[in-house]
């Protein structure tokens, strides 16, 4: 594959990571804790869509190689993730009388409950959406870009969702309230914003985006109960790179981390070509920069960001 091909793959994977990291960052800044159940919220979206798609079928026509039924399933997946997140907030998080660290630990428990229930219901094996795999788009193959119509659909939907979120944050009343709350929750409350309601809307939006990311991840790879938890590390890396609490930082961070993740094979060919001295260093780099360690590279970037610039690209003070 050429550089262009890797970049195209990176764009697709980035869209998924961006959807996940925006939600995580929103919840982080407004509900004020690191939600470790975010990855499993993605899994919920994916499996809800799987069940819906299995039930309603194709519904006639198709856009971009995806039947109408799939788009319906996508909406159901988004809704399911949002409903589950709101129910969790109402039943579990809201009655808790603990600090943000306690909430963080609780969210790990929630993550396990989500995953265990999915695993009990669907088993731990991989599954796929019942959609025929597409051939790469012919006109792009000469450039070494092997993307399918499905990939185009993923990127397009992600762009629509991200632009929608941008409009919501900048130009609507709810968006202004959310930004006010992220800035200073006490001040927001004093000025008459119903913070509880805004928090619920934050959960709806954050978990909804996560659900969409989960559905697309299932379309891009496969579905498995661990899919969300496995992606959590990458999403956290994106959020920290972007700066905790900044939605636009999360978009940038998600984009970069997703790109780097998919460009790993390209980097390994670069390392092989470079004359690195001494020899053992070259060998070590060659074995470490490989597809198996794509997630580990995200981790290394995260640690480096924490060392050099803990508040990330666009975040507030971290200490």
Partner 1 sequence: MSALTDPKGAIAELTRPEGWVLGVSVAFLLFLLAALLTGALGPTYFLFLVGLAGMYALLSFGLNAQWGFTGLINFSVAAFFGIGAYGSALMTASGSPIAGGFNPLVGLAVALVVALALALLIGIPTLRLRADYLAIASLGLAEVMRLIVLNERWLTNGSAGVRGIPGFFKGWPVLSTFPEAMPGLRLEIVPGSPIFLEASFWQALLNVLLVLAFAGGTYLVLRRAHRSPWGRVLRTIRSDEDLARALGKNTYSFKMQSFVLGSLIMALAGVFYTHLNLYVGPGDLDPITTFYAWVAVILGGSGSNRGALFGGVVIVTIREGTRFLNDVALPIDPAPLRLLLIGVVIVAVMRYRPQGILPPQRELIWPSAVDGGGAPETPDSGVRERKGGGGDE
Tokens (6 digits) for 309: 């610039």
Q: Residues 63-82 vs partner 1: string with x where CB under 8 A?
A: --------------------
Site for partner 1, residues 200 to 229, rule: CB under 8 A: 225, 229
Q: What is the CA radius of gyration of the chain?
A: 20
Q: Which is nearer to partner 1, 137 or 288 (CB)?
A: 288
Asked whether position 108 contacts partner 1 by CB under 8 A, the answer is yes
- Shortest separation between residue 176's beta carbon and partner 1, angstroms: 27
Q: Which of 207, 302, 314, 315 binds partner 1 (CB under 8 A)?
A: 302
CA–CA separation, 256 and 235 (whole Å): 11
Cβ burial of 53 (10 Å; 0-12, 13-18, 19+) is: buried
- Tally the C-alpha atoms within 13 A of residue 297's C-alpha that lie toward its C-beta: 22
- Shortest separation between residue 205's beta carbon and partner 1, angstroms: 21
Q: Which is nearer to partner 1, 149 or 233 (CB)?
A: 233
Q: Which of 68, 112, 248, 267 binds partner 1 (CB under 8 A)?
A: 112
Give, for 66, the enclosing helix (H) or strand (E). strand 66-67
- Shortest separation between residue 139's beta carbon and partner 1, angstroms: 37
Tokens (6 digits) for 126: 């991989």
Q: Which is nearer to partner 1, 273 or 308 (CB)?
A: 308
Q: Long-range contacts for 96-101 (Cβ within 8 Å, ≥24 apart)?
A: 100/32, 100/33, 100/34, 101/33
Site for partner 1, residues 255 to 294, rule: CB under 8 A: 287, 292-293
CA–CA separation, 189 and 170 (whole Å): 20
Asked whether position 36 contacts partner 1 by CB under 8 A, the answer is yes
Candidates 4-12, 105-113, 138-146, 269-277; binding stretch for partner 1 (CB under 8 A): 105-113
How many angstroms separate the first and last alpha carbons of the chain?
43
CA–CA separation, 43 and 57 (whole Å): 21
Cis amide prior to 164 (ω within 30 degrees)? no
- Shortest separation between residue 51's beta carbon and partner 1, angstroms: 18
- Shortest separation between residue 98's beta carbon and partner 1, angstroms: 5
Site for partner 1 (CB under 8 A): how many residues?
Answer: 49
- Shortest separation between residue 301's beta carbon and partner 1, angstroms: 10
Tokens (6 digits) for 171: 């130009």
289 phi-psi bin (left φ>0, alpha ψ -120 to 50, beta other):
beta
42 with 20: CB under 8 angstroms? yes
Q: Which of 119, 127, 221, 222 binds partner 1 (CB under 8 A)?
A: 119
**Residues within the interface to partner 1 (CB under 8 A):** 33-34, 36, 92, 95-98, 100-102, 104-106, 108-117, 119-120, 123-124, 225, 229, 232-233, 236-237, 240, 287, 292-293, 295-296, 298-299, 302-303, 306-307, 310, 318-319
């Amino acid at each position: 594959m050429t550089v262009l091909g890797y970049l195209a793959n990176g764009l697709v994977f980035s869209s998924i990571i961006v959807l996940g990291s925006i939600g995580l960052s929103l919840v982080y800044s407004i509900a004020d804790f690191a939600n470790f159940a975010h990855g499993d919220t993605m899994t919920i979206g994916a499996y809800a869509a799987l069940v819906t798609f299995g039930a309603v079928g194709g519904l006639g026509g198709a856009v971009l190689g995806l039947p109408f039924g799939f788009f319906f399933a996508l909406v159901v997946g988004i809704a399911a993730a949002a409903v589950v997140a709101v129910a969790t907030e109402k039943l579990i998080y809201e009655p808790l009388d603990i600090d943000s660290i306690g909430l963080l630990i609780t969210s790990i428990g929630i993550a396990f409950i989500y995953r265990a229930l999915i695993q009990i219901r669907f088993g731990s094996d991989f599954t796929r959406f019942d959609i025929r795999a597409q051939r790469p788009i012919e006109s792009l193959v000469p450039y070494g870009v092997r993307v399918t119509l499905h990939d185009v659909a993923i990127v397009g939907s992600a762009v629509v969702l991200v632009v929608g979120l941008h409009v919501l944050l900048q130009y609507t009343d709810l968006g202004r309230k959310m930004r006010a709350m992220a800035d200073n929750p006490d001040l927001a409350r004093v000025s008459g914003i119903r913070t509880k309601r805004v928090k619920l809307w934050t959960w709806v939006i954050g978990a909804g985006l996560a659900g969409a990311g989960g559905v697309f991840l299932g379309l891009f790879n496969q579905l498995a109960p661990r899919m969300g938890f496995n992606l959590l590390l990458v999403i956290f890396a994106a959020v920290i790179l972007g700066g905790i609490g900044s939605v636009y930082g999360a978009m940038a961070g998600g984009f970069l981390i997703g790109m780097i993740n998919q460009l790993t094979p390209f980097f390994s060919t670069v390392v092989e070509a470079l004359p690195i001295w001494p020899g053992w260093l070259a060998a070590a780099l060659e074995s470490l920069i490989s597809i198996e360690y794509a997630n580990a590279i995200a981790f290394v970037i995260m640690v480096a960001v924490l060392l050099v610039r803990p508040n990330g690209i666009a975040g507030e003070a971290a200490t």
